[in-house]
Amino acid sequence: MAIAAAGSELALAAMACAAARVAFLPLDPLLAEAAWPRLQALAGGRLQRLSPLPDGADLVPAACPPLAAARERTQLTAATDGRFTDAATDLALLIASSGSEGAPKLVMLSEANIDAAAAASNERLPLHLGDVWLACLPMHHIGGIAILGRCLRAAATLLLHEGFSAAAVWEDLHARRVTHLSLVPAMLARLLDAAQGAPPPSSLRHALIGGAALSRPLFERALASGWPICPSWGMSESTAQAATLPGADGDWQVGEVGHLLSGLQARVAADGRLYLRGAQVMAGYLNPAWRRGDGLDDGWLPTGDLGQVDADGRVTILGRADDMLISGGVNVHPIEVESCLAACPGVVDVAVTAVLDPVWGDLLVALVVGPAALGALHDWSRQHLVAAKRPRRLLRLEALPRNAIGKVDRRGLRVLAQAGACAHECLNV
């Protein structure tokens, strides 16, 4: 059952579908119309769409238990034609992947996936009756709707904001004794601006940061103000959180996300890509036959991220595999260069991409937001980066292109880098 609506209605509809044992697909209201034909094709025409409730209507699902343990449910079985009968399916949620490098896929998540993910998250960042989790991420993204499962399982309070307002979040952190908060780095930066250096209330125990790479300067700024920062890594395919580092301190380095959540295993492939396996890893990508396992390799999920796992099981994310650039024959990941440039005084935001070049192959282009002089930024890169990893073109922008949850739009970056003229200032070096 699919619906495009505001966050509060999506949360209630998710609970109603759980009670009715119907798989639920939350849609982005801004993109639903354009995306619907492709989604129906992915589902073999088997999706049904509900209209949003009229203004003033109330949706109260009856007998909505927490998203139940899968052991009490019939396991998914395939009919002879490869389809699944509604009575046999334990699929609870269809959720779009981020689509940061192409058209989003629909991830199939079972009740077992959701319950395992909620249990593991509540263990890592203890969540109990009486706690309050403030949710300001979109409910049609896994980072938003996963909070619902955690709160239902723990009988905690979900404090749902319709969209992100730094002023509103800062106010509610104090007024509602919030204990848990989920943010992407861009939201954290705006919230720190709203706080003007003031620490968060002592009731806030965990500020979960994910969805995009957290820079060292932003982390240091938050840590200096007393924020309980918990760098995290996850994706739709892992039912949100896969690894989290609670209470990161001054020794934290970019990309460190702590240990995997309970029940997950990871391995690093020969190409550096991380693979995941465990109870909260998806049932597969939606396909016309509703066949399980699409996108999995013998139960392992090949993620789009490059990473390392040390001897103690701590995970470090090195960046997206698809973002790797080759400059002068040297492999360069944008996160490495971005982390360096972000530490330059006067840089508020920065992203790195490339344009094709007959000499360099990938000629690195840095798109910069903030008052830093481009010449000074070039000097900074000469001091801190080897030649092949230095941007050869610097563009100043008002803002970086980002999607609804704050991830940098890498395709948009490439377009801006090619155009060049869209920048307020350009330096070629």
Q: Indicate whether 375 and 415 sit together in one domain.
A: yes
pTM: 0.83
CA–CA dist 211, 225 (Å, integer)? 22
Q: Indicate whether 120 and 139 sit together in one domain.
A: yes
Q: What is the CATH number of the domain that holds 338?
A: 3.30.300.30
Q: What is the CATH number of the domain that holds 87?
A: 3.40.50.12780
CA–CA dist 194, 407 (Å, integer)? 21
* End residue of a domain, out of 320, 348, 363: 320
Q: Which pLDDT band, with edges at 50, 70 and 90, does 62 fall under?
A: very low
Q: Indicate whether 148 and 249 sit together in one domain.
A: yes
- The DSSP string of 80-95 is TTS-B-GGG--EEEEE
Q: Indicate whether 106 and 187 sit together in one domain.
A: yes
Residue 53 has pLDDT above 70, yes or no: no
Least confident residue range of 28-42, 77-91, 136-150, 192-206? 77-91
Number of separate helices (H) and strands (E) present in the chain? 10, 23
User: Which value, in Å, is the radius of gyration of the alpha carbons in the chain?
Assistant: 22
Q: Indicate whether 53 and 120 sit together in one domain.
A: yes
Question: pLDDT tens for residues 260-276?
Answer: 999 999 999 999 999 99
409 vs 276, which has greater pLDDT? 276
Residue 35 has pLDDT above 70, yes or no: yes
Q: Indicate whether 190 and 297 sit together in one domain.
A: yes
Question: pLDDT tens for residues 136-164?
Answer: 999 999 999 999 999 999 999 999 999 89
Q: Indicate whether 332 and 420 sit together in one domain.
A: yes
* End residue of a domain, out of 289, 304, 320: 320
For residue 8, the cross-strand partners are: none
Query: What burial class does residue 330 get, using C-beta atoms within 10 Å of its C-beta: 0-12 exposed, 13-18 middle, 19+ buried?
Result: middle
Q: Indicate whether 78 and 143 sit together in one domain.
A: yes
Q: Indicate whether 303 and 342 sit together in one domain.
A: no
Q: In this structure, how many other beta carbons lie within 10 angstroms of the beta carbon of residue 75?
A: 11
HEC assignment per residue over 275-342: EEEECCCCCEECCCCCCCCCCCECCEEEEEEEEEECCCCEEEEEEEHHHCEEECCEEECHHHHHHHHH
Contact present, 278 and 299 (Cβ < 8 Å): no
The CA–CA distances, whole Å, from 23 to 6, 100, 373 equal 19, 25, 52
State which amino acid sits at residue 228. P
Contact present, 136 and 184 (Cβ < 8 Å): no
Reported for 51-60, long-range contacts at CB under 8 A and 24+ positions apart, including other chains, are 51/3, 52/3, 52/4, 52/5, 52/6, 52/9, 53/5, 53/9, 59/9, 59/12, 59/13, 59/16, 60/12
CA–CA dist 113, 116 (Å, integer)? 5
pLDDT more than 90, % of the chain: 69
Q: What is the chain's mean pLDDT, rounded? A: 87
* Tally of domains within the chain: 2
* End residue of a domain, out of 298, 320, 342: 320
Contact present, 52 and 4 (Cβ < 8 Å): yes
pLDDT more than 70, % of the chain: 89
Q: What is the pLDDT of residue 146?
A: 97
Please give the residue range of the domain that contains residue 341: 324-428
Q: Indicate whether 314 and 331 sit together in one domain.
A: no
Least confident residue range of 45-54, 98-107, 279-288, 319-328? 98-107
Q: What is the pLDDT of residue 359?
A: 84
Q: What is the pLDDT of residue 193?
A: 94
Q: Which pLDDT band, with edges at 50, 70 and 90, does 54 fall under?
A: low
